[in-house]
Amino acid sequence: MSKFHRRSMAGLAATALGLSGAIVASVPGVAAAAEECVAETTSIQIFSFNDFHGRVEGAANLFTVVEEARAALGEDNVLLTSNGDSIGGSTFVSAVADDNPTLDVLQAAGLEVSAAGNHEFDKGWSDLSGRVVPHGPLDQRFPYVAANVLDGAGNVAAPLKAYELFEKGGVTIAVVGAVTRDLPSLVSPSGIAELDIIDPVEAVNSVAADLKDGDDSNGEADIVIASIHEGAPSGSPDAATGAESSQNFADIYNDIHESVDVVFNGHTHYQYDW
């Protein structure tokens, strides 16, 4: 399971069935009524999972809670995200078909955005960019976000994006993605030779700061979620322990910018509290 960290959200609750977390945010709104403004609150549930690894047989159990939330709150108040490694390292039923069954299941579940994990690059950049990202009908595709994966010109390598914006309950939510900085040592170097993998925390922080700077020209969000495919090196009730033994995790734990409201991560397959 991934961990979740709350900075300025009004409420946070863990979900069942293996999902990493659901955030119920009370966001101030303004409504004109009888010439005076009345504060309102909007309930939004944000579900995130990680390291699915083609376990399509358990998908119904995993995503039932999301469907229940959509039925209760309406689809416009529910966001479903992934923190990467949905494919690769998969069970036979998915792996034998190049993980197309997994991609089909995630689209059927209504996945709205995914960080790129290291396993998304297992078959090389050409496979991720040319087959995985554009998989399926256009109206069912979900974007992959990885702000620290750059092309030769120093831009986020298309079709990846640095972030994606969503309107949920009248609230603008940004999901900023990043993959572990160890990617070059986890996949075939020749498969990503044209890419530059920069520091994930620095990349996320730069984008998050822009999203909260009040400048509409570079995108703005009420809530910024960092979806980083990196995690603590061991399970622990206290994430500080992981930060002491892993520089990658310490950077997330200590250096995430104040513009980031929530951090979702994964990669290491451990459960821990932060």
Other CB atoms closer than 10 Å to residue 28's CB: what's the count?
A: 11
**pLDDT at 270 > cutoff 90:** no
Q: In this predicted model, what pLDDT tens digit does every residue of 132-168 receive, in sequence order?
A: 999 999 999 999 999 999 999 999 999 999 999 999 9
| Contact (CB, 8 A) for 61 and 74 | no
Residue 219 pLDDT more than 80? yes
Residue 120 is predicted with a pLDDT of: 98
> Residue holding tokens 């702000």?
147
pLDDT tens digits for 86-122?
A: 999 999 999 999 999 999 999 999 999 999 999 999 9
Name the helix (H) or strand (E) containing 65: helix 59-73
Residue 24 has pLDDT above 50, yes or no: no
Strands across the sheet containing 163-168? 4-6, 262-265, 223-229, 171-179, 163-168
**Topology (CATH) of 4-265:** Purple Acid Phosphatase; chain A, domain 2 (3.60.21)
Distance from C-alpha of 222 to C-alpha of 174, rounded to nearest angstrom: 8
Which residues are within 8 A (CB) of 14 and not within 5 positions of it... i.e. 6 or more apart? Answer: 4, 20, 21, 22
Please state the domain extents for the chain. Answer: 4-265
In terms of Cβ atoms closer than 10 Å to its own Cβ (0-12, 13-18, 19+), residue 158 is exposed
At 239 the pLDDT is 77
The model's confidence at residue 39, banded by pLDDT at 50, 70 and 90, is low
